[in-house]
Structure 1
């Protein structure tokens, strides 16, 4: 923790202010119009360093500066707050106001680093659309977001969520990382869990649904009655709450096929509430009763296990509330 008032024996912060080529001599404090530069003298994480260098500036303000691309290390923009600094690194801080990216609609960022962006997507927002469509999507908003920092930045879709499904979604920042994730998806993903509000009382406390999924000419997925006819799909479920009208299920995907959960819930006679396309007769929530709650995977670059666990939407619990 850093104190606003220095005690008498306070240690000098692990940096020295450095001048660019066109600045005054070093014995004068550097203060160019738009950029401040510091030389790192001791190993440190970037946020810790910035809290020392910019004494009096709050933690949230510094994180905002990082997100806006105002901080660079050795002339390379860095947005990761725990970026490791080493002696001799030059940290540059731009005090010029950056052009703000447009506000993100229907999503918020859970995690961002140099390779990935993990978001929480609201129901009703498309993941991605074709080039001919002009509708706002998660992909287009995130593309604008990263380009506001650097026009050459791009976003790559790793997997998708249906428009009316909410929850955790992962994007890559490079084509290489995208391919690495997709090619090793089964080994990389430790857990991919949903919650589903389905119609009727599911009598089994847990179970597994297996089928071969195919797509009809009308682009509707269905389970083929024949083995090895289509894409193999495996869904595990566990009952969380229930009454005669509805059951709340925890659903784990062993495979990730298009509309897999929606088809499998219809197959067992308990379509997802609000899912008219796959047999639902009710719309208790005013939306599709499906939420991607947990995504856990091994980071493709660092090898670190990443886990994103969101709350069950409160509206999913509404059918089980008892009134006095």
Structure 2
């Protein structure tokens, strides 16, 4: 009797597993077609030289990687990418955290400010870039117009190498602010009101309560935002392509734009694939490092 029940349980379990794979099959097929196959194809192409049509002309193994690690231009693009990440990620998180802290209460009129600060999330990269391209215009742009009203000379936002990366970073901070603000605001609103009341009873002021009580409870949200923001910053392309096209003098030539130029402008698909895989390895290493180091300081409720 026990043997019969055991075999029946095994058959039932196999049916459940088969049913699960049946429902997962469409998703797995999509992943295989649009994720796994392109990644494997990129690994293969990164070891080849291709003609302008993308056909393999010669198999060179790891020569593309050797050329990249000896290329000053590639390391320059890596340096520009790191500068871009440092300019955008901390600024976006700190600015969005400040706005979320000021507007998460239930005072009258806060909903209006929450709506305004969340607006960038519904604007596409292309639309936002065009808006800021007009703002950055050297003569007709509103930024230089307001600067002239306070006696400041016009700034060559996108044409001066010393200003171009900062200008693109400013636009990126505004563009990413909507998503980060909404996530942090949700995290703040998820903290029970009893904690704030207990802090008031204990005599803690707003700043002390935020730094010593609210901020530790917000660390899971901050950890998530940090990882997503760093990954997004390393993959930034649209605003750079529209605003500066990597210039002037390669001042905004980040790795993703270098990949685009090598693969789709110069038709060097082997080099482009190798650069993409190196970028993937860097992002993966940084993500693993963040989980290994920073997650220890995350306080889960």
Structure with the higher strand share, 1 or 2: 1
Structure with the higher helix share, 1 or 2: 2
Q: TM-score, normalised on structure 2?
A: 0.24
Q: TM-score, normalised on structure 1?
A: 0.23
Asked which structure has the greater RCO (Cα within 8 Å, sep 6+), the reply is: 2
